[in-house]
Amino acid sequence: MRKIMRGVAVAAAVTLAAAGCAKDGDGGSGGGSTGPIVVGSVNALSGAATFPESSAAAKAVFDAANAAGGVNGRQISYKALDDKGDPAAASAAAREIVGSDNAVALVGSSSLIECEINNKYYAQEKILSMSGIGVDPACFNSPNISPANVGPYHDMTLTLLYGSEVLHQDNICALLEIAGNTLPSYQAAIDEWTKITGKKLTYMDATVPYGGSDYTSYIVKARAAGCKAITVNPVEPDSIGQLKAAAAQGWNDVTWLLLTSVYSENYAKAVSNAGAGIYVPAEFYPFTDADAAQNKEWRELMTKNNIPLTSFSQGGYLAAKYFLQVIKGIKGDITRESVTKALQEMQPISDPMVGTPYVFGKADKHHDNTAGWPIKLMSGTNKWELSAQDWLRIPKN
């Protein structure tokens, strides 16, 4: 992910009267034997933080499938709605897609709030959501939502594992920017690292603000605590401010263990001093490796459709690709019921763009993508480089 909205406080779910599911001619909801297969998504397309690439990538996948004849002769009608970063809009968008449009599933959603707002509604309506990019904790703790990406919490565990077990950093500290109800999930990610390694943080501060004007005091405290490496979950501008604050203090030997939220070419170009290096476990195979065979089909499709090459578009592309593979195997009508059954009973799908096979299944929560590809950004290079020859994985319990 490139950007996480500053200071988001996830609101309580908005209670609206749920629209009744329309029924098609053969009595099944969410589709039928004729007409288009309706698929939707709820996304941050406007507001303080936007990332439209996920739904745009999903649409490109579906458009290509339609051009090749569709699924069993039926076209896919894809509808990407905007939640505007607003709880009421997120709730209304889900009800339009699920209730009014009678979609068979949601695919490629990318939002800061929609999982928290809509997960209970999806369970009520017996519809599944394959998010392109999951962000808030509810995306990974619902039986009806299964994101294609690793997510910021496993990303945190992975970056800590790389720092302690590969870079052999001893004094690792955490500066956390907490939005809404995310602190318990970040703490669980840190606890998972401790459980695996037996190591603990030297120091942690979970009061670091989004959009801070000056991070000097936080940097000074971390340095005084003896930190040699710092893990942060920042938005790009905040990370740049933190790096500048460290450089201003002459702290040029600190290692930064960050998340995919800063993985972009613009960020790399903006960093003037990366200290002893910035390390990130990319959620998908690194898109900045331009010649990689792993990303060839995705890169060609995105370029053809003028969609930015980002981890957001990787997530949306994969969610749509997984979805198509599953529904093409459905015997009989493609309806909400048959799609739900197929996703819950699907076999795992492997893809070179990810280190963990994707499966929806019947679990109470879906947080199964546990692999990242380590990349690094060194001072003076302004370019992301691979820092491993294989995926870094969170060990199974």
Helix 53-67 with 311-327: angle, nearest 10 deg: 40
Helix runs in 285-373, H state only: 296-304, 311-327, 336-345
Q: Which domain holds residue 247?
A: 152-282+372-393
Beta-bridged to residue 133, according to DSSP, are: 110
The strand pair at 172-175 and 129-130 is best described as unpaired
Q: Is residue 7 part of a domain?
A: no
Which segments of the chain have a pLDDT < 70?
A: 1-33
> Mean pLDDT over all residues of the chain?
92
**Residue 110 sits in the same domain as residue 258:** no
Q: Is residue 26 part of a domain?
A: no
Task: Using alpha carbons, select from 71, 92, 72 the residue that is nearest to residue 82.
Answer: 92
Q: Is residue 182 part of a domain?
A: yes
- Note the pLDDT tens digit of each residue in 35-72: 999 999 999 999 878 889 999 999 999 999 999 999 99
**Residue 255 sits in the same domain as residue 380:** yes
Q: Is residue 112 part of a domain?
A: yes
Burial class (CB in 10 A: 0-12, 13-18, 19+), 69: exposed
**Residue 268 sits in the same domain as residue 163:** yes
Per-residue model confidence (pLDDT) at position 6: 38
Pair of tokens at residue 26: 């053969």
Distance CA 138, CA 11 (A): 12
Q: Is residue 310 part of a domain?
A: yes
Distance CA 78, CA 39 (A): 5
Pair of tokens at residue 89: 């809009």
Is residue 127 within 8 Å of 42, Cβ to Cβ?
A: no
**Residue 112 sits in the same domain as residue 173:** no
pTM given for the model: 0.90
**Residue 202 sits in the same domain as residue 273:** yes
**Residue 267 sits in the same domain as residue 247:** yes
Domain count, the chain: 2
Report percent pLDDT > 70 for the chain. 91
Burial 1-39 (b: 16+ CB within 10 A, else e): bbbbbbebebeebeeeeeeebeebeeebbbbbeeeebbb
Instruction: List the CATH number of the domain containing 300.
Output: 3.40.50.2300
Per-residue model confidence (pLDDT) at position 34: 75
Report percent pLDDT > 90 for the chain. 88
Per-residue model confidence (pLDDT) at position 32: 53
Q: Which helix (H) or strand (E) holds 206?
A: none
- Note the pLDDT tens digit of each residue in 345-358: 999 999 999 999 99
